[in-house]
Structure 1
Amino acid sequence: MAKSHYPRSFAHPRYWLTWLAIGAMHLVAWLPWRLKMAVGSGIGRLAWRVVRRRRHITATNIALCFPEKSAEARRRLVKETFIANGIGLVETATAWCRDPESLRHRAVYLGQDNMARARARGKGVLIIGVHFSTLDMGGALHSLFFHADAVYRPHDNPLFARFMTRSRTRIFNALIDRYDLRGAVRRLKAGHAVWYSPDQDFGRAASVFAPFFGQQAASIKLTAKMARMTDAAVVPLIFHRNPDNATYTLEALPALEDFPSGDDVADAARINAFIEQAIRRHPEQYLWLHRRFKTRPEGEAGVY
């Protein structure tokens, strides 16, 4: 429902569930770590059982991207994805409601020299992230080492949008609406680092078709466009939860050379190759729940 249809007063009964959710996020953020992980895992297991539509989308994505896996292995990966994303909810609560300094002992940051070299150019840095379940935790941990702005999607619910914005502005210098190209370009031209995740389907008009896990995927052209307009260094960033479920690894790769090339398809394929590389490290932590392949090449049937 559009924002204009929400009541103006946050005391309205329509917001009571939102207030309850915000309170629950504050509560879970302060749970002991092992209990927090157990709660997240339980949320994921429950969602795997009851959220059939998202389970179907996840299973479809995984079947398309991992045809070499057996049916049983793909089924396990679907369940593991829900568990990881359930844990991602409590990680988001922790990132939003706790001081990032309290998490420093959980972070290992590899490739800091790559990020530092990109920043030392004196121009903007376009940080290429990925929609992992650890996204907000990754942002909080990254803020302990390097400051950045972030491109994001505003929430429709005004109360939750306010909570999310206030929480994320504790982590990032500034938030930029994903449709605000001019805002992102201004920040990059001013020498800021901007965290941007170009791995979702924004429709035919904004995209070219490029390979992603062997599939032709609608891949956004904006990454190359922003780099071309600003001469920003483009630095791929990988981040994931380690198998101990207690620590996290971030890794900044060397800035892409000869990017953009002027060929939108080649540039999109290059970004997709990095995203695929990052996902293959911990595929269960990726947000397979979204319809990555909803836009199909002309004449192809939908997959969902």
Structure 2
Amino acid sequence: MARFASALLYATAAALGRLPWPVLNRIGDGLAALWRRLDARESHVARVNLEIAYPEALPAEREEWHREILRTTARQFLETLRFWTRPHRDNLALITRTTGVELFDAALASDRGVIVAAPHYGNWELLNQWLAWRTPISVLYRPPESKVGEAFLRRVRADSADRVTQVRADGPAAVRQLLKLLKGGGVAGILPDQQPKVGDGEFVPFFGMDALTMTLMGRLAARTGATVLFAWCERIGAGPEFALHVEAAPAAVADPDPVVATTALNAAVERIARRDPAQYQWTYKRWRWRPVGSNEPNPYEREGT
């Protein structure tokens, strides 16, 4: 049943992905306007996040960012459906600029293992396709609660050349798999700003407010000596065009002290996110969990709920 339902989802995504770019953008803009009008979850979460991350900004400035964030988020949703269901070579042709690729090539040549930290900035699914084009890669992911959703994601994120291995974030088994991969000189892709389960991270500052942050990446780097690189695909220009960036991570992300490592990790992600607030995933409840004993409320709870 899950396989049939995921196939139906894929067919729907493929149909949408065949629409011309201008049509996809108009649909995305309409969806963003609807979110704002209804103050849907995406709208509410983005507004709360902007108030936390940019308290110094004028209300009018945050409102403009809010509008742009929802517009970009909606467009990206449709853009990603296209990337998932179109030939990867066609998608990669949209990457017209690159910086730091030599760092990635040098890390591969070292045979020390490579951890690619890919923040939720720009289009990380296009980045995954670029990485798989360059080398076999194992991608850590958190499975959706729905079996249909997981079957769909495993299908659309697969690579036709079998160069992508998807690793479920299921605790010790995933850690063992990634340790073996990196010690053997392999490449792992991790979303470093994905909130871990309570107990699997540290509360350290992110845009000035403590956020539960994964310790896994730092532990993997410290135990394997793998090279850690940050990478992202950033939208540029008015059309469907992207610049791919690769840069070295600060050495502190591999510090044995998890607080030092996660603090450095968040600082690096924050710097990338500040490049263009509209391209960061501000519809994600990054500060949902609060430190134990702090008595801080969940900032996303609405009054009366």
Category of TM-score, reference length = shorter chain: 0.7 to 0.9
Residue number in structure 1 paired with 2:165: 174
> 1:136 aligns to what SS in structure 2?
helix
C-alpha spacing 1:229/1:109, structure 2 compared with 1 (3 Å): same
Task: Could you tell me which runs of 5 or more consecutive residues in structure 2 were left unpaired when the two chains were aligned.
Answer: 301-305
Residue number in structure 2 paired with 1:190: 184
Residue number in structure 1 paired with 2:266: 272
- CA shift for structure 1 position 255: 4.6
- Distance in 2 between residues matched to 1:83 and 1:98, nearest whole Å: 23
* Deviations 1:226-246 (CA, angstroms, capped at 9, x unpaired): 112222111111322113231
Residue number in structure 2 paired with 1:49: 37
**Range with bigger deviation, 269-278 or 141-150:** 141-150
- CA shift for structure 1 position 155: 2.7
Residue number in structure 1 paired with 2:227: 233
Q: Is residue 135 from structure 1 mapped to residue 124 from structure 2 by the alignment?
A: yes
RMSD: 2.1
- Distance in 1 between residues matched to 2:8 and 2:82, nearest whole Å: 16
- Distance in 2 between residues matched to 1:206 and 1:100, nearest whole Å: 34
Indicate which of 150, 156, 160 corresponds to 1:161. Answer: 150
* Deviations 1:259-293 (CA, angstroms, capped at 9, x unpaired): 52222111111111110111111211211112111
Q: Which amino acid aligns with 1:251?
A: H
Residue number in structure 2 paired with 1:3: none
TM-score (norm 2): 0.88
Residue number in structure 2 paired with 1:293: 287
Residue number in structure 2 paired with 1:4: none
Q: Which amino acid aligns with 2:203?
A: F
Contact 1:103 1:141 in 2 (8 A): no
Q: Is residue 215 from structure 1 mapped to residue 203 from structure 2 by the alignment?
A: no
Q: Which amino acid aligns with 2:155?
A: R
Q: Which amino acid aligns with 1:61?
A: N
- Distance in 2 between residues matched to 1:9 and 1:53, nearest whole Å: 27
* Deviations 1:98-137 (CA, angstroms, capped at 9, x unpaired): 1110123310221011111111111210101112362212
- CA shift for structure 1 position 50: 2.8
**Range with bigger deviation, 101-110 or 50-59:** 50-59
**Range with bigger deviation, 83-92 or 252-261:** 252-261
TM-score (norm 1): 0.88
Task: Could you tell me which runs of 5 or more consecutive residues in structure 1 were left unpaired when the two chains were aligned.
Answer: 1-7
Indicate which of 80, 88, 103 corresponds to 2:76. Answer: 88
- CA shift for structure 1 position 19: 5.8
* Deviations 1:2-38 (CA, angstroms, capped at 9, x unpaired): xxxxxx4756xxx4xx665433210121222222222
**Range with bigger deviation, 273-282 or 76-85:** 76-85
Counting only pairs closer than 5 Å after superposition, residues 2-13 of structure 1 correspond to structure 2 as: 8=1
- Distance in 2 between residues matched to 1:295 and 1:215, nearest whole Å: 12
- CA shift for structure 1 position 74: 0.9
Q: Which amino acid aligns with 1:36?
A: L
C-alpha spacing 1:96/1:48, structure 2 compared with 1 (3 Å): same
- Distance in 2 between residues matched to 1:9 and 1:295, nearest whole Å: 31
